[in-house]
């Protein structure tokens, strides 16, 4: 029995939701709409992670000074770091929980759109079955559909790399990992690629919205002046 089989009840529930949507709109559109609905439901977790990320970036210079000052006294360093994070209303692992909570949802979505039960993957997009993978494409229509989706994923990855170049803290070669998404898409069936493209586009828009200067200023003010 697969370890991921514990997710089967959630996968079947998600399948029922997509099937209900597919009774009203084309199945490909149902996949997109369901993905958007799930990402919208997870948005509060993304906001929490973004706040923690901005807090870490803001505190990074102070943390570096403390590490330099108390390099030979680990106990004193830990006390000072704890006091600093407590004073700022955050913690060193503040953004970890929101990320961990999102992981099961993405696992369910991945299983749903790669090994969907029932006849979900029997539907087509522009005449291409949703179960077909790029390696199995053999008609001009199939090559064209996969090429469009891959081009869209590459464009999103390139936009992410360009944005990372202008980030306050450069992340070096790590930013090129964004191109792992288009490469991973080559292994997925068409349904999985639709999900991946929709989710990646949401992530790009969400990160832009949550990390725009105005959002950072508002969050910074909220952290510095917590409600009493």
Q: What is the DSSP string of 89-147?
A: T--TTTTHHHHHHHHHHHHHHHHHHHS-STTGGG-EETTEETT--GGG--SHHHHHHHH
Per the structure block, which two tokens stand in for 8?
């089967």
Give the pLDDT score at 222. Answer: 45
* All residues at 6 or more sequence positions from 125 whose CB lies less than 8 Å from its CB, including other chains: 26, 27, 28, 145, 190, 194
Contacts of 63 (CB under 8 A, 6+ apart): 81, 84
Phi, psi for residue 188 in degrees, rounded to 5: -100, 155
Task: Enumerate the β-bridge partners of residue 124.
Answer: 129
CA 4 centroid distance within chain:
20
Residue 223 has a pLDDT of 44
- How big is the chain by its Cα radius of gyration, in Å? 21
- Which pLDDT value is given to residue 50? 81
Tokens of 40: 């919208």
**Total domain count for the chain?**
1
- The per-residue pLDDT for range 21-63, each reduced to its tens digit, is 999 999 999 999 999 999 999 899 888 888 877 777 777 888 8
* Separation CA 180–CA 194 (nearest Å): 16
Are residues 199 and 210 in contact, defined by beta-carbon separation less than 8 angstroms? no
- Print the domain residue range for 141: 3-224
**pLDDT tens profile 190-224:** 999 999 999 999 999 998 888 777 655 454 444 44
Q: What is the pLDDT of residues 168-196, one digit of tens each?
A: 544 555 566 778 889 999 999 999 999 99
Task: Report whether pLDDT(129) > 80.
Answer: yes
Mean pLDDT calculated for residue range 84-93? 71
Name the one residue in this structure whose structure tokens are 């090994």.
115
More reliable by pLDDT, 146 or 92: 146
Burial of 182 (0-12, 13-18, 19+ CB in 10 A): buried
Model-level pTM?
Answer: 0.78
- How confident is residue 225, by pLDDT bands cut at 50, 70 and 90? very low
């Amino acid at each position: 029995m697969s370890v991921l089989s514990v997710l089967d009840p959630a996968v079947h529930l998600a399948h029922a939701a997509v099937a209900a949507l597919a009774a009203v709109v084309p199945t490909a559109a149902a996949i997109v709409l369901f993905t958007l609905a799930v990402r919208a439901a997870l948005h509060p977790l993304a906001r929490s992670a973004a706040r923690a990320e901005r807090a870490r970036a803001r505190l990074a210079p102070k943390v570096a000074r403390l590490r330099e000052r108390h390099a030979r006294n680990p106990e004193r360093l830990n006390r000072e770091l704890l006091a600093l994070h407590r004073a700022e209303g955050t913690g060193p692992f503040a953004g970890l929980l929101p990320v961990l909570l999102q992981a099961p949802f993405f696992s369910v979505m991945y299983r749903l759109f790669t090994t969907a039960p029932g006849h979900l993957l029997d539907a087509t997009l522009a005449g291409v079955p949703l179960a077909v993978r790029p390696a199995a494409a053999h008609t001009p229509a199939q090559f064209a559909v996969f090429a469009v989706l891959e081009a869209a994923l590459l464009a999103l990855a390139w936009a992410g790399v360009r944005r990372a170049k202008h980030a306050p803290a450069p992340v070096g070669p790590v930013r090129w990992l964004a191109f792992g998404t288009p490469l991973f898409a080559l292994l997925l069936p068409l349904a999985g690629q639709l999900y991946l493209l929709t989710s990646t586009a949401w992530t790009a828009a969400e990160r832009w919205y949550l990390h725009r200067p105005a959002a950072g200023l508002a969050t910074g003010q909220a952290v510095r002046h917590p409600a009493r």
